[in-house]
Amino acid sequence: MADGDRLLGHLLRRAGFGASSAELAAYSSLSYSQAVDRLVNYEQIPDTVDSNIGKPGFVGTTSRGAFSPNTVADDARQRWLFRMVHSDRPLQEKMTLFWHNYFATGLSKVTGQVKNPNGTRLMAAKALEDPARQRGQIELLRDGAVGSFRDLLVAVAQDPAMLIWLDGDTNTKAKPQENFGRELMELFTRGVGYYTEDDVYAAARVFTGWNLKPGDNNDSSSSYSFVYNANQHETSTKTFSFPIYSDGSRTIPSRAASAGMQDGIDLINALSMHPETARRLATKLYGFFVSETAPPDPNLINDLATTYLQNGTVIKPVLQRLFTSPQFQDPSIFFTRYAWPVEFVARSLKETGWSGFSVGTALTPLTSMGQELLEPPDVAGWSLGQTWFSTGAMLARMNFGSALAANQKFSLATAAAASRSSSRAVVDYVVGRLTVDLPNDVYNDLAAYAAAGVAWTGSDAQLQTKTPGLVHLVLGSAEYQFV
Amino acid sequence: MMNRRAFLKDGVAAFTISFAAPVFLSDLARAQGASSRNLVVLDLTGGNDGLSMLVPYTDSAYYSRRPTLAIPAGSVLQVGSDSSGKALGLHPKLTGLKDIFSQGRLALIQRVGYENSSRSHFFGTDIWSTANPSNSAGNGWVGRYLATLPPPLDPLVAWNTTGDTPHALLSSAVPVASIPSVSGYAFTSPNSGSEATLERAAATSIASHVPVDKPHVAFVSTSVQAAMATLDRVAAVGSYKPTVAYPTNGFGQALQAIAGAMAKGTGTKVFWVQTGGYDTHASQDTNTDTGAYVRLMGTLNDGLTAFYNDLKNQGLLNQSLLLSFSEFGRRISENGSRGTDHGSASVMMAMGGSVHGGLFGTAPSLSADPQNPTLENNTQDVKFENDFRSVYARVIDNWLGGDSVGVLGGNFRKSGLDFV
């Protein structure tokens, strides 16, 4: 493969979910910087992917009754997987996934409070398809995926699912609730070590009265929204260990309760512009897009953090800078990032094929691999990297590869038919179709497997056995678990 | 700064070098024998409210500071008084554990924690995992203990019932087996018969190539190797017939798998199981049947009671020790959401046929007096009396037969903690 194609493949694996052969061909006509522009400026591309759900030529879905992605959790998960496989805005889906992990909110707690289907609505409903124009948290993240981080923080702080998840709905004057204030500083902005316990208590008081206006839990068309309850706001001053205002002042002044919502806005404004936040976010993006094994390059982190601050916390220019950095384009980092389970599934589908396969089939395996969408294990999101690869989780990946290869056996055999002259030619076909760097000893094992058993004739039956067998072995190899 | 993922880097470099060739594993497992002692670590994730589990029901401050969450004195399951004379009772749902306590096979260790306890779930979990409050990166305390065993190690030397490998089990010596479901722990193939057999052989061979120049790939390769090497023995555990009916929830099923592994003699030294939902910031509801904490205690009690009785019936009780922990306890006063926020010291449990049961350590006084030495953080939280590493040390030295000083990086032995 030419160097340019290798770089393009890397970009599409990292900034998206890999590429089908058709997508690769389409991007190949662009220069690298044009490809980055196309990915980053995705709002110029119409977002019509959902209209293809259920149409031939696309990966399928499975539902009990009508497909209901706004109200049924498994259908919402399938819609998202469908988007990962087929969206023409792959970076938007990738960043939505990044934020879902960053602001990790678990559906089960939300549903526990508002019942079904309202829990799914609060997490995943598309506003235009919802009877009350309720926008689910994932849609909020998708809408703001590369926009202002400060705006995203405010929206998340006022998001009904988040108000339930981190108990903001019960944050009152009499008993300030610390959960959101703590995680705002620990996980969303400054990070552990950059705030004190007193800051947590102060932040809890800042957000007193930032509550939920509940809907009717027994009515699937009712509306849930943020409300500022002035009579529940604690109005005294709040002092932090870090600056809140540009003059260096660390104290949010005492305000009338009616104006007290500004406390929270002031705190979020301050936190979003702190250099600690900028560096933490830059480091997270580095780990997600560049490398989680190599220590972050301090120059690049500084560069990204500066870009973030200079652009008033807007993420898009940070990503543009990141994708065009030499560190991102360094071939030594290709195929070094541990693939998340949904990345593995989406890429396997894009490279193996999907005709006649349903993403519903992937849901149980994804849970076994350790990633159930909409249900991160806790507020810090999934444990990434090496921790995806326990023995049980690895078997789940291998077995998903087996199920997909079995499902695709006829189309794989047909596609490999031109290589039926020898078992080794079929190996070469499979290794070329699935983008992966395999060392010689692995390649030799594949060749030995292809040649083992019945003597090679290249019959249809043999192609239908060995081609899916080889695809399974490659999808289950250690090398394929990296993007 | 350290963060919860910093430990990953350490792990990668380490164990690719010393991992044993899988060919020898089943023999090794047999050599380790089914009769050897094992440890079951139970992680109550989210921060367990020790004051609702082991209730100081004669402390008036307990009632004044928890107007809706306090458990009436008449409801607790009394377990006597500790060495300071404080009367204590178990949560009313813990009827089975009360029986085990009465049999002298349950130890309740009070006020366990450490200086400057982290109130962060993740930082706190990392500290409990590494047993190092000042550097919570690196391998886990169980993993370091495993690394002191004679190599090469079988991946089934530890058996994790969750999907991800817990930080405490990260080891330089071995990728421990993670088996969230015994029945799902299998190798499937798009083909059948001899072709499937060929494929399994090929997968095993592919995983045997561990590239020394690519530690990240090597890490995954060793995981595949460990999976392939343990498939058949884990499958054998699937045929285990327990002597009691375990709860059908995940916790109960995980405990059943552990009992099965013990009965089938997998040679496992350390099992890991967890049950979550303890982060009770709101609607903790300790008193009504459908309440959050009542359900937590029900799940805990029913699972552990079934496990205890099953092991007893199987004649396995004396070789097993279960040790529970949580990343922190909770605030003494309830919050406005009828819940409790993150606190510090809490209660650990040790259960097993060789446990010297009873109450260890002393209960805090909950009086909000600034001079009260049993509280910290402006009397908001329970101050630790027993360092959690002293509990670990007792288990490592007196149960596992290891050297706690080496494993924990210091001498944390403490007299009086003779629960095993």
* Binding-face residues of A in 439-458 toward B, CB within 8 A: 439, 441-442, 445-446, 448-449, 452-453
* CA angle, residues A151, A152, A157, in degrees to nearest 5: 100
For A337, nearest residue in chain B (alpha carbons): B216
Question: How far is it between the farthest Cα atoms of chain B?
Answer: 75
Mean pLDDT confidence for B34-47:
88
Q: How many domains does chain A have?
A: 2
Of residues A369, A394, A441, nearest to B223 (C-beta): A394
H or E segment and range at residue A337? none
CB < 8 Å to B377, chain A: 197
pLDDT digits (tens, 9 = 90+) for B282-317: 889 999 988 999 999 999 999 999 999 999 999 999
pLDDT given at position B6:
34
The verdict on a CB contact (< 8 Å) between B202 and A385 is no
Spatial separation of the C-alpha atoms in residues B407 and A276, rounded to whole Å = 35
pLDDT given at position B13:
34
Do B95 and B57 meet the contact criterion of CB atoms below 8 Å apart? no
Question: Is the Cβ of A259 closer than 8 Å to some Cβ of chain B?
Answer: no
Same domain, A352 and A263: no
The verdict on a CB contact (< 8 Å) between A473 and B205 is no
Same domain, A267 and A354: no
Q: Point out the domain boundary residue: A253, A275, A297.
A: A275
pLDDT given at position B24:
34
Torsion-angle region of residue A429: left (phi > 0), alpha (psi -120 to 50) or beta? alpha
Same domain, A271 and A345: no
pLDDT given at position B9:
36
Side chain identity, residue A62: T
CB < 8 Å to A441, chain B: 209
Residue B10 has pLDDT above 80, yes or no: no
Q: Determine, yes or no, domain membership for A217.
A: yes
- Domain of residue A45 covers 3-275
C-alpha distances out from residue B64 to B61, B69, B360, B375, Å: 5, 10, 26, 16
Of residues A172, A191, A385, nearest to B336 (C-beta): A172
The length of chain A is 483
Same domain, A265 and A397: no
For A462, nearest residue in chain B (alpha carbons): B195
pLDDT given at position A387:
85
Q: Determine, yes or no, domain membership for A290.
A: no
pLDDT given at position B120:
83
Mean pLDDT confidence for B162-166:
86
pLDDT given at position B135:
77
Q: Determine, yes or no, domain membership for A320.
A: no
Where is pLDDT greater, at A233 or B152? Answer: A233
DSSP string, B145-188: HHTTSPSSPPGGGEEE-SSSPPGGG--SS---EE-S-TTT----
Helix, coil or strand: residue A45: coil
- Helix residue ranges, H only, B287-359: 292-314
Question: Is the Cβ of B168 closer than 8 Å to some Cβ of chain A?
Answer: no
Same domain, A248 and A348: no
pLDDT given at position B137:
76
A460-475 and B193-207 helices, crossing angle to 10°:
30
The verdict on a CB contact (< 8 Å) between A473 and B202 is yes
Spatial separation of the C-alpha atoms in residues B155 and B175, rounded to whole Å = 6
Where is pLDDT greater, at B25 or B405? Answer: B405
Same domain, A270 and A345: no
Question: Is the Cβ of B125 closer than 8 Å to some Cβ of chain A?
Answer: no
DSSP string, A349-379: HHHH--TT-BGGGGHHHHHHHT--TT--SST
| ipTM for the assembly | 0.95
pLDDT given at position B11:
37
β-pair type (B54-55, B87-90): antiparallel
Q: Determine, yes or no, domain membership for A440.
A: yes
Do A394 and A472 meet the contact criterion of CB atoms below 8 Å apart? no
Same domain, A73 and A203: yes
Mean pLDDT confidence for B157-162:
94
Do B128 and B388 meet the contact criterion of CB atoms below 8 Å apart? yes
Of residues B164, B231, B336, nearest to A170 (C-beta): B336
Of residues A287, A368, A402, nearest to B180 (C-beta): A368
pLDDT given at position A173:
94
- Helix residue ranges, H only, A244-340: 261-272, 275-289, 298-310, 316-323, 326-329
Residue B23 has pLDDT above 50, yes or no: no
CB < 8 Å to B120, chain A: 182, 186, 192
Same domain, A136 and A240: yes
Spatial separation of the C-alpha atoms in residues B394 and B386, rounded to whole Å = 12
Spatial separation of the C-alpha atoms in residues A147 and A272, rounded to whole Å = 13
The verdict on a CB contact (< 8 Å) between B199 and A449 is yes
Residue B384 has pLDDT above 90, yes or no: yes
CB-count exposure of residue A383 (10 Å: 0-12, 13-18, 19+)? buried
Same domain, A46 and A165: yes
pLDDT given at position B26:
36
For A470, nearest residue in chain B (alpha carbons): B199
Q: Of B331, B330, B341, B342, whose CA–CA distance to B282 is shortest?
A: B341
pLDDT digits (tens, 9 = 90+) for B95-150: 999 999 999 999 999 999 999 998 888 889 999 999 999 877 789 999 999 999 99
Instruction: Determine the distance in angstroms separating the CA of A406 from the nearest CA of chain B, rounded to an integer.
Output: 4
Q: Determine, yes or no, domain membership for A303.
A: no
Spatial separation of the C-alpha atoms in residues B352 and A42, rounded to whole Å = 60
First to last CA, chain B: 37
pLDDT given at position A407:
98
Q: Point out the domain boundary residue: A275, A295, A318.
A: A275
Instruction: Determine the distance in angstroms separating the CA of B102 from the nearest CA of chain A, rounded to an integer.
Output: 36
The answer for residues whose C-beta is within 8 angstroms of residue A120's C-beta and 6 or more apart is A70, A71, A72, A73, A76, A107, A111, A136
Question: Is the Cβ of B220 closer than 8 Å to some Cβ of chain A?
Answer: yes
For B215, nearest residue in chain A (alpha carbons): A293
- Helix residue ranges, H only, A16-132: 21-28, 32-40, 73-86, 90-102, 107-114, 118-124
pLDDT digits (tens, 9 = 90+) for B184-220: 899 999 999 999 999 999 999 999 999 989 999 999 9
Question: Is the Cβ of B253 closer than 8 Å to some Cβ of chain A?
Answer: no
* Binding-face residues of A in 69-128 toward B, CB within 8 A: none
pLDDT given at position A1:
55
One digit per residue, pLDDT tens: chain A, 483 residues? 567 789 999 999 999 999 999 999 999 999 999 999 999 999 999 999 999 999 999 999 999 899 999 999 999 999 999 999 999 999 999 999 999 999 999 998 899 889 999 999 999 999 999 999 999 999 999 999 999 999 999 999 999 999 999 989 989 998 898 999 999 999 999 998 999 999 999 999 999 999 999 999 999 999 999 999 999 999 999 999 999 999 999 999 999 999 999 999 999 999 999 999 999 999 999 999 999 888 899 999 999 999 999 999 999 999 999 999 999 999 999 999 999 999 999 999 999 999 999 999 999 999 999 999 999 988 889 988 888 998 999 999 999 999 999 999 999 999 999 999 999 999 999 999 999 999 999 999 999 999 999 999 999 999 999 999 999 999 999 999 999
Q: Point out the domain boundary residue: A241, A275, A309.
A: A275
- Substitution target in B337, B342, B344, B381 with the highest count of A β-carbons within 10 Å is B337
Same domain, A121 and A261: yes
CB < 8 Å to A398, chain B: 187-188, 203, 224, 227
* CA angle, residues B261, B266, B267, in degrees to nearest 5: 120
Q: What is the dihedral of CA B114, B119, B123, B127, to 10 degrees?
A: 10
Do B277 and B285 meet the contact criterion of CB atoms below 8 Å apart? no
* Binding-face residues of B in 344-403 toward A, CB within 8 A: 377
Spatial separation of the C-alpha atoms in residues A49 and B223, rounded to whole Å = 37
pLDDT given at position A380:
85
The verdict on a CB contact (< 8 Å) between B4 and A442 is no
Q: Determine, yes or no, domain membership for A284.
A: no
Q: Determine, yes or no, domain membership for A333.
A: no
The residue assigned the tokens 């813990």 is: B94
Residue B14 has pLDDT above 70, yes or no: no
Same domain, A369 and A236: no
Of residues A192, A370, A395, nearest to B164 (C-beta): A370
pLDDT given at position A293:
82
Same domain, A144 and A265: yes
CB < 8 Å to A377, chain B: 164
Question: Is the Cβ of B66 closer than 8 Å to some Cβ of chain A?
Answer: no
The verdict on a CB contact (< 8 Å) between A398 and B187 is yes
Q: Determine, yes or no, domain membership for A280.
A: no
Side chain identity, residue A91: L
Instruction: Determine the distance in angstroms separating the CA of A182 from the nearest CA of chain B, rounded to an integer.
Output: 8
Q: What DSSP character marks residue A338?
A: B
The verdict on a CB contact (< 8 Å) between B216 and A388 is no
